[in-house]
Each structure stands twice: as structure tokens, then as C-alpha cells.
Structure 1
Amino acid sequence: MGTISPIKESTCCDPASAGTVYLPSGTSLILLMPRLLATTIHGAVDVLKKTFDGTYDDNCPACGETHAHGGICCGIPEIHCPSPCVCSIHWVGCPGDSFKHAIQVTNTSKTEREFTLTSVPFPHTQEAVAVTPGKQTLGTEESLQAEASFTIPETFAGSKYRTVIKVKGAYEQIIQVCLTVRPRQACGCHVEQGDIPKRVKAHHWYHHFQCVEDCFEPAKKVG
């Protein structure tokens, strides 16, 4: 008959010591740097693997959408509407200055169509950019050569103005006109002149004197 040994009580941590802070052992401190290095290498390898197997979703060069590497381009293709503003004209000047700008309109449709160019007056004024010719029928790949012109009136001073030229064919497009008018103080030049200024020129140090001469030739020579 076998001998029955008494059951040994298991060793447990004292609940009273739960709040005690224990410092790491010397072995743990020695292995800290190798463990950190191993973790870094493991993370770098994981990043490299995910980069090359397409786990990181980048924009597909074929469809421009985002999907996993090797995935099917199943997005619905879209075509966005172009901006109605086709170009901008920028003029800067003073009252009385005149400007001109060439405009070319080409019919790229296979249908003959009439094109019109209509200038909208500047806000809160009756002044508008003149466009000539303002209308022409164009066949396929034919072009209209027009000219936009404007003279800044005296009532415009020291401000910025914006308007548009409407181009209508099968649909409407706009040419933006930006006009900057300088203030009257910046549209003139004030010249002050007295006697001919003198230049004082030093000779060599061993001469111990200066030479004084006119900066400009007299307007009227004596004699």
C-alpha cells in the first residue's frame, strides 16, 4: 500500500506587500538594451514587409484611388467639371491710361457655332471693357481674334475693380478682368531743382586738400 504524503501549502504573496515597489534585477538591466534593439529591428522588418506587400494602401497609379496592392480597380471613374474662368487680365495704371489685351476663341466642336463676347460693366459704374469684334460664327477649329480695350476714367482713382467678359458658345465661360487704379498722388512726379550740386572729391592723402567740382554740366553754357 502506497504512502500518502501530506499536501504542502502553496506559497502566496503577502497581500500587504502589494504596494511595495521592487527594482529590476541586474540581469534585467543588462538585457534591457538588447531587448529594445530587438524590438526596434522587429518593428522595422514589419514596416518593410507591409510596404512591399502593399499592406499600406497607396494611391493606385492606374485609377488614382486607394486600395490594397494587387487589388482590382473597382472604383467608378469620375470626370470633374472645369472652371468657368478660362483666364485673367490684370491691368495697373492711372486715370487716363489705356490698355489692350488680345483674346482668341477657338471652336473645338465638330459643329459650326456662333460665339459672342459680352463685357459686364464694373460694379457700381457704367464703365465696361470694349471687346471687338463681339460676335462671330466659327466652324470646326476656326478661331476668333478679338481685342479687349479700356481707358481708365477720371472717376476711377485709388481702388481695385473687377469684372468679367462672358464668352458664349455652346455654354458660357468667363474671362476675369482685374483693374488696379493708383491714387492720384502716385500718378505724378514732383521734381525739385536748385543750383548745380557740388561734389567734393578727396585727393591723395599726401596732397592734403580737396577738389570741388560741379555734378552736372550747366544747362546753358556761358559765352
Structure 2
Amino acid sequence: MTKRKSAATDVRQTMDAMSDVLSRQLDLSGDIVDSLAGSARRFLSGLSQNVGPGSCEIPEPCWMPHDLGEYHCDLCKGSSGTMEIRITNTDYRARNFTIVAAGPDAGRVSLTPNSFSLGPKERRTVTARFDAALDDTVHCAELEALIWVMGCNSHFLRWTIDVGKSERACCHHVDVFDQPDYVHHWYDHFYCVRPCFGKTARPVPGAKDTVG
């Protein structure tokens, strides 16, 4: 009888010990899960603060021209506006560059010079002049032209002119950094052309090839 009681006592003690071990394991698992969840929340919170809103948006395909922005001028009838476009070849090899005007009022834009070559890391400034001359019967107008810069990549800017009775200084400065893109981004597609467009770079009808 004593042996049976001793055996029963041993079984209870063993079960109590196993129950205690299991309980400790469950508590430890809960702590690990809570810790991982807290780390994940902190990581996502820091990520959202560092990258800012909209940073996960997929950019345009790599073959699309680069937008240099919009520029505006107010001129009196018969005046002219000026823009300086400084082009830098940031590549390690020489490149040919072509600058052309397009759009409804492209004929009013003069570009000096409109084509040249740049060696590695060299730069040059192009002067664009917008003529706001109007017919005697016209007193005000809205004029617009696109200016394209084509080297390894294609770049463009939009220049608008309001012609009227008031005028403000019109002398913009634009920097263009032209280089091939050797980085494969997560949002790239298989049809991306690298490192340069070469003979496929013809964003403006009649534009010459820009192979360097």
C-alpha cells in the first residue's frame, strides 16, 4: 500500500513539474511574440518616417524623358525672356548633345548653341531666348514652348509666357545632369534600355540621333 501511495505521489509530482515547464514555455513564447510584434511596429514606424509619403509610388519607366519642370515669365509686348540651361555630362565617356524647341510657339525660341559635344564630366551653358513680339492688332497672348535636351537621356522643360501690360524679370537658370543609369531598381521592367537610349532617343520629330 505504501508503495502505491509513493508511486502515485511520484506521478503527481512529475505531472506538476511537466505542467510547470509547459506553463513557463507558453509564457516565454508569448514574450517572444510580443517582442517580435513590438520590433515590427517600431520598424514600420521608422520606415514610414524615413521614406516619407508617396515614396513607394512606382516612377515612370526608365525610357521616359526626364521632366525638368515648368518655368513662367510675364513680359510686355515686344520684350524677350532668357533662360540659361547648364548641361553637365556626368558620364565617363564623351557625349553628343542636341537642344531643340517644340510646341506651338517653338519658332519664337532661339537656342545658342543648339548642338555640341561634351567630354567626361564637362559642362556647357545653352542660352534660350523667347521672343514675345506680337502683331499690332494683338495686345496680349499666352505663349508656350517645350525645350528638349537630348544626350544619353532625354530631358524636357515647359516654358510659358504671358504677354500683356506688365513685365517682371525673366531670367531662369536650369541645371541638367545627364548620365546613364546603371542601377537596377526594384520597379524596373524588362524593357528598360541601358545604359543609354542611343539611336532610340527620338522624342521630337526630326531630332538627330544623340549617340556619343
> Which TM-score bucket, shorter chain as reference?
0.3 to 0.5
For CA contacts below 8 A with separation 6 or more, give which structure has more relative contact order: 2
Give the greater-gyration-radius structure (CA).
1
Structure number having the greater helix percentage: 2
TM-score (norm 2): 0.48
TM-score (norm 1): 0.45
